[in-house]
Structures are given as C-alpha cells and as structure tokens.
Amino acid sequence: MIQHKQLQNGFKYMEINNVYASAKIALQGAHIWAYTPKDKSDLLWVSEASYFEEGKTIRGGIPVCFPWFGKHATDASLPQHGFARTSLWKLVKEVVQADGSTLVRLELRETAQSLKLWPYKFTLTLDVHIADSLSITMSIKNADEKAFEVGTALHTYLHISDVEDVNIDGLQNTSYFDALTQSTQIQKDPLQIDKEIDRVYTVSNRVSMSDKHHTINIEPQGSNTLVVWNPWKKKSASMGDMTKDGYKTMLCLETANAREDVRVVKPQETHVMGVIYR
C-alpha cells in the first residue's frame, strides 16, 4: 500500500507498507525518514526536535547531499551539503512489484534558483526499493554541454541502542581523514566510539555495524568513501534541532563521493552511486 499524506503545515510525504517493511519518504529532499522491517525496530534515527517544514532539513533519516558534500569548496555562504535536501522533488514512479516489494522513483532537475547556486543542467534520480532490505540508487546525469564535478552522500542516520556499545567492522587497515584534527590516519582495529567523530574513510567494501540489538550490513555502489559522524554531547547541546542527549542513539554511516572521491561527469554521461542496507 502506498499512501500520500501531509502534515498540518502542508509538509508532503509518502507512506509505504508492504509484506516486508514500512517506510516514509518526504517529497522535499527525496528524504527517507523511516524504514522499519516487519517485527523489527526502525533502521533510521530521527531527532525528536527535528523540523518537518518547507525549506528546512530533517535532522535524521537519509538526507541527500548534492551537488557538494559539506561546505562548498570556494563559497562558504552556499548551503551546507548542497541544495538537493531542501528542494522539492518530483515523484515519477511508484510501483508495487510482483514479489510484494515497492519501488519509488523521485527526480530533481535544475531550476532557475539552482542555476544561481550551481550553473549546470542535470537530472538527479533517486530509486528507493523497499523490501526486506532497503536499497537506494542515486543516478546523476549531466544534461549540460560542459563537464561538472560532483560530491554526494546519502547522509544516513542509523538508529542504535547506545553509541558506546557500537562495533563497526570492515574498516580495518583503511585510511581515513579526520576532520577534527585535519590529519590522515590508518584504522587498525574494528571501530568503537567514545567521543565526537567526523571521519572520511577510503573504503568501497561492505561494512557492518553491530550493537546490542542487531547487525546492519552496508553495501555501497559507485562509492569509495564512507563518512562516520557523531556530534557527541557538547555539539549536540548546541544544535537547535537535536536534543542534548540525541547523540547517544544515532550514528551516521554515510555512503559518499567525498574528498578525493568526488566525480567528474561528462556531458550526457551518468554517474551512479548507491547503497543497500540489510
């Protein structure tokens, strides 16, 4: 079943229920903000203080970062993580498939406003497949006459029992850039977290995250970078859309094209990046 709903303030979203799972997707940002497999807890974390308003980002779920990740390289006045996550996307497909799973396709193209921020024509497509796993595929087509460079991320907030009980496997012997110390280091052991973290790992293989209740496998496509982020206590308290202890039950593991993994897309070519959560 696919239902189209809106909050009292007019914020529009889709609610999907099938034999495998339920999910919610906002049309603003093509933002997946709930995915709950049958008889299990929600895979995604959303802040209790998050905004669900036009023009404001949702703190949690899976924000889409495009056409740059983080701050703009040359103009700090431009929006953090680009404009896709606050843009209104077009729903182009919603299909209940023969096996009972659901496919939703949303699309974003350039507008007069986006061209002021980023002077390129493009077609950005997000395919969301809701089954016993959550599969997301982002396709970036260059519809312009000149090549462009693009940085992206599926900025996923995972719901966890306690951040200090999390174990992340699959990052061993990989390098990472630490944004807090501005240094590059090597991860020797499975990752555990006991303080603020903001790292970009150079990795393209499957990574798994385990806590007391479950293990989540993360399988990337078209990505050689994984961002690991948790703001910890002090920064959480300073964020208006996050409760002061919200950091305890969330961890961002973001499939990305960041730093040296940004991609150049030539005219009429398409770059595909995505992830499967099992």
Q: Which residue has the tokens 């919610």?
A: 24
Q: Which residues of 145-180 are buried (b: 16+ CB within 10 A; e: fewer)?
A: eeebebbbbbbbbbbbeebeebebebbeebebbeee
Q: What is the pTM of this model?
A: 0.96
Contacts of 187 (CB under 8 A, 6+ apart): 171, 172, 173, 174, 175, 176, 201
What are the catalytic residues? 155, 254
Domain range for 252: 2-277
Walk along the chain (278 residues) and give the pLDDT tens digit of each residue: 899 999 999 999 999 999 999 999 999 999 999 999 998 889 999 999 899 999 999 999 999 999 999 999 889 899 999 999 999 999 999 999 999 999 999 999 999 999 999 999 999 999 999 999 999 999 999 999 999 999 999 999 999 999 999 999 999 999 999 999 999 999 999 999 999 999 999 999 999 999 988 899 999 999 999 999 999 999 998 888 898 889 999 999 999 999 999 999 999 999 999 999 99
> CB neighbours (10 Å) of residue 129?
18
CATH code, domain carrying 146: 2.70.98.10
Does residue 34 contact residue 17 with C-beta atoms inside 8 Å? no
Distance, CA of 137 to CA of 179 (rounded, Å): 27
Nearest C-alpha neighbor of 46 from the set 228, 252, 208: 252
Strands 183-187 and 134-142: unpaired
Distance, CA of 158 to CA of 255 (rounded, Å): 12
Q: How many domains does the chain have?
A: 1
